[in-house]
Amino acid sequence: MKIFITGGTGFVGSYVVDDLERDFQIIMPVRNRSKAGKRTDNVKIIDFSEKLSDPIKKYKPDVVINLLGILNENRKKGITFEKVHVRFVEEIVKGAVEAGVKKIIHLSALGADINSKSMYAKTKAEGEEIIKNSGIDYVILRPSIILGKGQKLFEDLKKFSVLTPVIFAPTGKVQPVHIEDVVEMIRLSVEYAGLKNTVIELCGNRIVSYKELFEFALSYIGKKRIVIQMPSSFFWAMLPVFKLFPDPPVTEDQLYLLEKDNVCSGELPTQRDFLGKVRNPFKI
């Protein structure tokens, strides 16, 4: 089986490629070949093109796995939620339709909502609709925050812990999922033809506060810092200061996201329905 994987050098993508390259032929477009790492002969590295339909039509994969996504925009570089979550998905679907792709596996996000004030959540939902309307079999995965080695949260807290003895956490709840649950669901979606045309939420077995999540992350990276939970009004008031940072700790879009808890809805299937288990995301 031939699989076309976008976002293969990212946090989730590196785990997915590590898992699938043992058994499948993979085509992986990358912007920076050095980030692809050492790969087996089963992986063909190609240069990334924003016109993603072209390489899909050229290589005619059986399955496309789309892992492209951004947490923050960089408008100076032309990197926007609209471009990555919508326009790239349109390109993928266009190529997949013309190439006769059998299935698209798409990594979306918990809380994807066409009516959200957050452009991240709104564009994630728009990308889902494009795939649902493609006429191609699909599996859409909506994970909560994914925990595993290489998670950006760990690097962010390591960076900010150097600057301050106190870390501020927003109010709200989150239900992290283990990276291996995500990888196993993607493999199952590849291998099992009967798993199709469904949206699956991916959450762990514990709902925690952001304060608890930050405390776990600090412990994981070996940093002792005080974590104080603050209301959303604090973060809104601090937004002008945060914007002065090259990589802001919180953005306006993220504050809109935080208006809702990042937990499974109970209205859609989860990985437990397919794997029969849920890993503890805090054991990584």
Q: Domain range for residue 119?
A: 2-146+177-205+262-275
Q: What is the structure's pLDDT at 244?
A: 86
Q: What is the structure's pLDDT at 268?
A: 97
Residue 121, both tokens = 């959540």
Residue 61, both tokens = 């994969």
Secondary structure class of 105 (helix, strand, coil):
strand
Q: How confident is the model at residue 195 (pLDDT cuts 50, 70, 90)?
A: very high
Single pTM value for the model: 0.95
Residues 229-279 have pLDDT tens digits of 999 999 999 999 988 888 888 999 999 999 999 999 999 999 999 999 999
Specify whether the CB–CB gap between 3 and 62 falls below 8 A: yes
Residue ranges with strand state E in 74-120:
103-107
Q: Give me the CATH number covering residue 68.
A: 3.40.50.720
- Mean pLDDT lowest among 9-23, 46-60, 69-83, 177-191: 69-83
Residues 44-87 have pLDDT tens digits of 999 999 999 999 999 999 999 999 999 999 888 899 999 999 99
In a domain, 238, yes or no: no
Has residue 160 got a pLDDT over 90? Answer: no
Q: Count of CB atoms within 10 A of residue 156's CB? A: 14
Q: What is the structure's pLDDT at 209?
A: 98
Could you tell me whether strands 177-178 and 103-107 are parallel, antiparallel, or unpaired per DSSP bridges? unpaired
Q: Closest Cα partner for 174 from 214, 216, 209?
A: 209
Q: How many domains would you assign to the chain?
A: 1
In a domain, 11, yes or no: yes
In a domain, 282, yes or no: no
Q: Closest Cα partner for 62 from 96, 31, 33?
A: 96
Q: What are the DSSP calls for 212-253, one per residue?
A: HHHHHHHHHTT---EEEEE-HHHHHHHHHHHTTSSS-SS-HH
Q: What is the structure's pLDDT at 226?
A: 96
Alpha-carbon gap, residue 166 to 174, rounded angstroms: 21
Alpha-carbon gap, residue 284 to 280, rounded angstroms: 8
Q: Closest Cα partner for 250 from 235, 231, 237?
A: 235
Measured between alpha carbons, how far is residue 188 from residues 10, 61, 274 in Å?
A: 20, 17, 9
In a domain, 98, yes or no: yes
In a domain, 281, yes or no: no
Q: What is the structure's pLDDT at 247?
A: 82
Secondary structure class of 86 (helix, strand, coil):
helix
